[in-house]
Amino acid sequence: MIASHLLAYYFTELHHDHVQRVSMLQQPGYQRLHGISTSSGRWMNKFALVLFAETGDFLALDLGGTNFRVLLVRVSSNGKQKVEMENQIYAIPENIMRGSGTELFDHIAECLANFLEKLGIKDKKLPLGFTFSFPCQQTKLDESFLVSWTKGFKASGVEGRDVVGLLRKAIKKRGDFDIDIVAVINDTVGTMMTCGYDDHHCEIGLIVGTGTNACYMEEMRHLELVDGDEGRMCVNMEWGAFGDDGALDDIRTEFDREIDAGSLNPGKQLFEKMISGMYMGELVRLILVKMAKDGLLFQGHTTPDLLTTGHFQTSFVSAIENKNSEGLLRAEQVLRGLGLDSSPEDCVAVQRVCQIVSTRAAHLSHLCAAALAAVLRQIRDNKATERLRTTVGVDGSVYKNHPQFARRLNKMVRLLVPDCDVRFLRSEDGSGKGAAMVTAVAYRLAKQHAERQRILDSLRLDRDQLLEVKRRMEEEMKRGLAEKAHTTAAVKMLPTFVRATPDGTERGDFLALDLGGTNFRVLLVRVRSGKRRSVEMHNKIYTIPQDITQGTGEELFDHIVHCIADFLEYMGMKGASLPLGFTFSFPCHQTRLDQGILIKWTKGFKASGCEGEDVATLLKDAIHRSEEFELDVVAVVNDTVGTMMTCGYEDPQCEVGLIVGTGTNACYMEEMSNVELVDGDEGRMCVNMEWGAFGDRGELDDVCTEFDRAVDDQSTYPGKQRYEKMISGMYLGEIVRNVLLDFTAKGLLFRGKLSERLKTRGIFETKFLSQIESDRLALRQVRSILQHLGLTSSTCDDSILVKEVCSVVSKRAAQLCGAGLAAVVDKIRLNRDLEKLSITVGVDGTLYKLHPHFASIMRETLRDLAPDCEVTLVQSEDGSGKGAALITAVACRLRDARK
């Protein structure tokens, strides 16, 4: 009668719409469980379920209940990995569980010290994986902030804090041992990793024990709280909190509500409180109290022990429910321990209550199955497969010890998701082994990360290094200007004989030729004076094939003249004779404005018979050979000078020109008294610095890396233009390529697999840096660039690292450029004996214009290193060709005035 009463009373509550609830969890659009793990899921562990050749000793700490384990896990390899474990179980007294966080972590540290001492390894600094089985928010693998205590823990001062930090602090306070905490994981993740070691199909971890929880491998594209959309990440669902929003209210009984009300966290972890082992004994106790008060047991008597929460342990349930005399004997012993005078009928009734509660837990496996089925459907849909084959790693005392729970759970899962072939694999070694596995891989990844950062740090410059670069640039500028030191100076400081800027009276039509790379422009520039002062331009771009850049000087200049003839015909000016300004962006020695003796080729040019010759004469000779037109070559100018003049036409304060494109160079207005190579000391003259050669005398050796040296060794002119090779667009992509080659050779990138295309010099174009570093560019698009380079199996992490390499290389380039420019503007300020200088710099070049961060980093560096100079950077929109035409116009005006 008592048993029938209980069954009727209890299962009326339990089965209310139960089947409907299970099917409801499977209906399309029912997202309560999905919401825990994706939209509102906050607890994530990023980890690849891949073990390579990890070997060594690893510690693991498994904390998730009143007992916790410390483990030493030895991973060895003789062709096949072998895992050996030693462990010790330690208790956490209730007063520590509910005391202060300091006491808790001090206790854990003490137990850890005891374990290390017993094994004689206290003097070793071993990597440790920390299984911490409570809801935590993770931002990285070795940092985990406790969201809320569960499972009866209530240590103060821990919620909201990093538990790894608290453990490190406790260990440091002791000072008698040291460990390297590499990873913190949830027990579900540890279980998945433990089972995944033996079964690579395992992508779900499930715990049904003191508490309950699950984790699974989710697609990165669904995790909006984490950057990146490639690959997968393990998501710790914390599904014990399912129902906290009222989703389970209609199947919770009065006993469930009473358990919740008497718990340390009322209203929280409601799903867990219905399923997990921690609450099964308490459920029996509440039923016995109610039956006693109703006069159905113990002659209506209760005792203080029976009325005390937690005094009927879950372990009692399993022992008493056995349908034999041992179960009844155990019931009598337990009741006597609670101070109850029980009759044989009482013992039978208590045994039946335990059986009913245990059966209820087994029936609740249906609810657990429904939740698990939702996860399986999510994985199946992610993979877009008709049939999913997967393994669920399972641990926990309820799953392992309850006589019916596992069988019913397995059966119900297969019923709910018939299109999933699911294997349930019991974790025999617990989540501690999984933590050690995670630690082993994480330790390898951490060492790889440290090696990557060590390499990248060689490409990073601090403020002191940049200040030293600035100082050395200032010294080289002085050497280049001095007559005695000029021949040995790296920075040649070449006089340009440009002494004046436009005054507004210039007028006429002028041709300009802008040669500085594999593309060049021919321009017609119409200058108008008076009230409607204006500059009108027409231009056409031509290419110079590589065989001509590497051929003879005659072939090069004949090609240029052929393009000029084509342009004049295009403009309907065939046979016209116009003054011409020649922007020739290579190092030249000038003794007058209309002459430029080429010192050396740069930027990949190698046309023979040009070095040491006047390029204006070479151009005139080619024009005479063509016999198609005549031109008056009035001025030979550098592109930096042309840029300065172009910007100076609009802004009279512009006295510096800067190019950061295929190559890099600068010019500025220097005091004639400092230009020792030219007679006279009145006024100013524009000096073409040819600063790309800075470093050719060893000035940059201490900031050059092995990658810079590799690029230099493979260049057309090894040992020359060292500064340019660290800054300009022609070389940055090649520096990045060499870093990627080194990373791959060391197994730090692309899984150590190199593509043939990446071995090709020049294949990693500098434009890729601008594209990869664009804030708008998703990592998926970075990966498409890598695929273009033959790296078809690159991962999201590869893309992130490639982006970091690009960022480091381009940042260094911008900082070096900023340091050089700081030397220039500070020299101008000191020349003029000013406390503060206000000046404009005209800038041109594809790297400066197109790279998303170069300009801002250079500006920030300049501001830091030259704080007494207020510098305005103006981008040249019309290029240096317009400047060459303006210089020609000024020269013609001055020439006409002399006549």
Element of type H or E holding 1: none
* Residues in contact with 829: Cβ distance below 8 Å, sequence separation at least 6, in sequence order: 836, 837, 866, 868, 869
Longest dimension (CA), the chain: 134
Catalytic residue chosen out of the listed positions 37, 133, 397, 585: 585
Quote the crossing angle between the two packed helices 796-831 and 463-481, to the nearest 10°. 50
Alpha carbon separation from 626 to 574, 615, 622, 631 (Å, rounded): 13, 17, 6, 12
| SS3 at position 321 | coil
Place of tokens 């422009």: 521
- Sequence-distant (6+) residues with CB within 8 A of 555 are 548, 607
Q: Which helix (H) or strand (E) holds 207?
A: strand 202-208
Catalytic residue among 285, 444, 452, 521: 521
The CA distances from residue 263 to 151, 267, 368, 509, 736, in Å, are: 9, 9, 22, 91, 58
Active-site residue identified among 639, 708, 712, 798: 639
Distances (CA, A) of 103 to 61, 92, 93, 147, 298: 17, 11, 11, 19, 41
Please tell me the distance from the alpha carbon of residue 413 to that of residue 508, in angstroms, as a whole number.
88
Tell me which DSSP letter residue 764 carries: S
Alpha carbon separation from 36 to 241, 371, 625 (Å, rounded) = 8, 11, 81
Report long-range pairs for 154-159 (Cβ below 8 Å, ≥24 apart).
154/97, 154/98, 154/264, 155/96, 155/97, 155/98, 155/99, 155/100, 155/101, 155/103, 155/104, 156/99, 156/100, 156/101, 157/100, 157/101, 157/102, 158/101, 158/104
Residue 156 appears among annotated catalytic residues: no
Rounded-to-integer distance, Cα 308 and Cα 315, Å: 17
DSSP secondary structure, 26-95, as one string: HSTT--HHHHHHTTS---EE-------S--EEEEEEEESSSEEEEEEEEEEESSSEEEEEEEEEEE--HH
CB count in 10 Å sphere of residue 641: 28
Assess contact for 847 and 661: CB atoms under 8 A: yes
**Residue 430 vs residues 130, 153, 186, 205, 534: alpha-carbon distances, Å:** 13, 21, 12, 11, 81
Q: Which two tokens mark 89?
A: 């179980």
* CA–CA separation, 735 and 766 (whole Å): 9
Of the candidates 822, 783, 789, 817, the residue with the CA atom closest to the CA atom of residue 803: 783
Q: Yes or no: say if 512 and 538 are a contact pair by the CB < 8 Å rule.
A: no
Side chain identity, residue 187: D
In the numeric block, the tokens 């015909």 are attached to 569
Alpha-helix runs per DSSP H in 338-486:
344-383, 397-401, 405-416, 430-457, 463-481
Burial class (CB in 10 A: 0-12, 13-18, 19+), 547: exposed
Give helix 163-174 / helix 101-119 axis angle, nearest 10°.
Answer: 60
CB atoms within 10 A of CB 886: 27
* Other Cβ atoms within 10 Å of 732 Cβ, number: 28
CA 839 to chain centre: 38
798 is catalytic: no
Q: Is 774 a catalytic residue?
A: no
SS3 content of the chain, % helix, strand, coil (to 5): 45, 20, 35
Nearest to 820 by CA among 690, 729, 631: 690
Q: With contact defined as beta carbons under 8 Å apart, do 130 and 435 qualify?
A: yes
Task: Indicate which residues carry an active-site annotation.
Answer: 521, 585, 639
